[in-house]
Amino acid sequence: MNDDRPPGRSPRAKTGGAGRVRDPEQTRERILDAARDEFSAKGLSGARVNTIAERAGVNKQLIYYYFDDKERLYGAVLERAYRDIRKQENALDLDALSPEDALRRFIHFNFDYTVKNRYFVALLNDENLHKARHAKVNDRIPALQSTMKRTLARVIRRGLEDGSFRREADPVELYISIASLCYFFLSNRHTLSVIFNVDLLESDRIEARRDHVTEMVLSYLRSVPAAPPGQHKT
Amino acid sequence: MNDDRPPGRSPRAKTGGAGRVRDPEQTRERILDAARDEFSAKGLSGARVNTIAERAGVNKQLIYYYFDDKERLYGAVLERAYRDIRKQENALDLDALSPEDALRRFIHFNFDYTVKNRYFVALLNDENLHKARHAKVNDRIPALQSTMKRTLARVIRRGLEDGSFRREADPVELYISIASLCYFFLSNRHTLSVIFNVDLLESDRIEARRDHVTEMVLSYLRSVPAAPPGQHKT
DNA sequence: GTCAGTATCAACCAAGCGGTTGAAAGCGTC
DNA sequence: GACGCTTTCAACCGCTTGGTTGATACTGAC
């Protein structure tokens, strides 16, 4: 705070008859919604606090009141995004399905989630531009994730046991590949559209892509490896 | 231009004995190099023209002299990046290799290219944030790409003919998947590192990932499809 | 040597922007 | 009704930034 500023503010005109609305919970959520839209459209550096306030329909000072500054607002948006996807992932209940159906369920979830929540893709891209410095100071994010890694490891093991899978995939590598296949076509849809002169989000195309991704992952797990995974060349 | 500005500039002090260096070609390249580094580190919105000038070791006005404005500078960086990768891709000479070796060569090229040229990944991410508005106004970018699509289509066909491949993959989908697998782990390495608590760019890990990507793509092509690709659910 | 154009320079400017300030309205408790 | 705290408001501020300006040095042609 600038403590040495002399008082100098002129008293402002009184408002008209309309009273103010007071609902701090809703105000906070509206700011987060507006911020999510603005940050995903323009990135942290390109987003404008004024625009966020306008989109939220609130006074700009409220953003500083609830979130301290732009960066912390961004961090709050990111955390809420992670919490949402993990909540939905944890609800998948993959252990109740056969290994192959579990994998299908997992892939379809990730694929459909990115298609429905494009903002998430844009936020992650931007967070990587900033070297994940907001995610790094958030304790809740890694904890949310490790359950999914273990779940995936169990699915792989169950598939090896019942013979539907024939290769012992590394769960981290597999997770990254599934995320890659589900994510990249959306994150890079604009440059890919320029290159291939197609609309990647046309609905038939999306469905074909989901099938393609599923086939690619399952055929990898079903096939006998040519060499042990993770073998090191020395 | 502000035509109504009165003359008011004080004559500046003469420089010391050192003369100016004049080499427009080198100056332009140095600006592009500096801009590439600054735009890939901070994005278009976060990058500073002053910083680009400093990194290039030139007067800021030169940026406007050669590139008109910040956006066109960004567009020039992007075009040069695309030109570089296409030039290297076109030098691969995949038609001279067996289908399987051609695919390996293609995958390894894309993988190693992103590992060596991280700026390219960051630039593409940023360009997608801006809906590829710079790439869209550039006529040279799509032309560079269509040769690779055709080359990939030939490789797929040759593989089907000699039996090393068993599925008629769509070349655009395949290209997107290969790019996905080669690109995402780098573009999202910061958030993935937070989530999995690993260093994805550790050299053993990179090599394992390249092998994993190769295996995933080849096993997909080798396997007999469970349903025809591109089948539409009606 | 002059000239015109090119390449480069230091300083400047107007607008935008993140964040702050003094104040008012609302609300629950006493 | 008073009070203290919370929530909200309009206006403001200092700094940053993309871009501009008038000028100078360099260079090749005549």
Domain boundaries, chain B: 24-68, 79-222
pLDDT value for A19: 64
What is the average pLDDT across B99-124?
A: 96
CA angle A109, A110, A114 (to 5 degrees): 115
Categorize the per-residue pLDDT at B3 as very low, low, confident or very high, splitting at 50, 70 and 90: very low
pLDDT value for B19: 62
Does the B79-222 domain belong in CATH 1.10.357.10? yes
What is the average pLDDT across B100-104?
A: 97
Q: Is the CB of A62 under 7 A from strand D?
A: yes
pLDDT value for A109: 96
Categorize the per-residue pLDDT at A2 as very low, low, confident or very high, splitting at 50, 70 and 90: very low
Secondary structure, 3-state, A152-219: HHHHHHHHHHHCCCCCCCCHHHHHHHHHHHHHHHHHCHHHHHHHHCCCCCCHHHHHHHHHHHHHHHHH
pLDDT value for A127: 97
Residues of A in Cβ contact (< 8 Å) with B232: 204, 207-208
Q: Tell me if B24-68 shares its fold with B79-222.
A: no
A97-149 pLDDT per residue, tens: 999 999 999 999 999 999 999 999 999 999 999 999 999 888 777 766 678 88
Give chain A's mean pLDDT: 87
Categorize the per-residue pLDDT at B233 as very low, low, confident or very high, splitting at 50, 70 and 90: very low
Q: Is the CB of A7 under 7 A from strand D?
A: no
Residues of B in Cβ contact (< 8 Å) with A181: 177, 180-181
CB-based contact A31:A62 (threshold 8 Å): yes
Categorize the per-residue pLDDT at A232 as very low, low, confident or very high, splitting at 50, 70 and 90: very low
What is the average pLDDT across A190-205?
A: 89
Q: Which nucleotides of D are covered by protein (CB under 7 A)?
A: 6-13, 17-27
**Would you tell me which CATH number, out of the four given (1.10.10.60, 1.20.210.10, 1.10.287.70, 3.20.20.140), belongs to the domain B24-68?**
1.10.10.60
Look at A52-56, B9-13, B118-122, B145-149 and tell me which has the smallest mean pLDDT: B9-13
Q: Is residue A85 pLDDT above 50, yes or no? A: yes
* CATH number, domain A23-68: 1.10.10.60
* CATH number, domain A77-222: 1.10.357.10
Q: Which residue in A195, A214, A234 has the most chain B C-beta atoms within 10 A of its own C-beta, making it the best mutation to test that interface?
A: A195
Instruction: Report the residue from B128, B207, B213 with minimal CB separation from A188.
Output: B128
Q: Which nucleotides of C are covered by protein (CB under 7 A)?
A: 6-14, 16-27
Q: Is residue A92 pLDDT above 70, yes or no? A: yes
pLDDT value for B140: 75
Instruction: Label residues A78-88 b or e (16+ Cβ within 10 Å = b).
Output: bbebbeebbee
Residues of B in Cβ contact (< 8 Å) with A187: 125, 128, 187
| CA distance linking residue A141 with residue A19, whole number of Å | 40
CB atoms within 10 A of CB B214: 19
Cross-chain Cβ contact B193/A229 below 8 Å: no
pLDDT value for A146: 72
B50-76 pLDDT per residue, tens: 999 999 999 999 999 999 999 999 999
What is the average pLDDT across A21-45?
A: 95
Q: Is residue A223 pLDDT above 70, yes or no? A: yes
Residue type, A230: G
Cross-chain Cβ contact A193/B225 below 8 Å: no
Per-residue CA distances from A23 to A26, A29, A34, A62 (Å): 6, 10, 16, 12
pLDDT value for A226: 66
Q: For residue A103, what are its two tokens?
A: 């994998």
Give chain B's mean pLDDT: 87
Nearest-Cα residue of chain A relative to residue B230: A208
Q: Which residue in B44, B219, B224 has the most chain A C-beta atoms within 10 A of its own C-beta, making it the best mutation to test that interface?
A: B219
B9-54 pLDDT per residue, tens: 433 333 333 467 788 999 999 999 999 999 999 999 999 999 999 9
Tokens 């994998």 correspond to: A103
What is the average pLDDT across A13-28?
A: 68
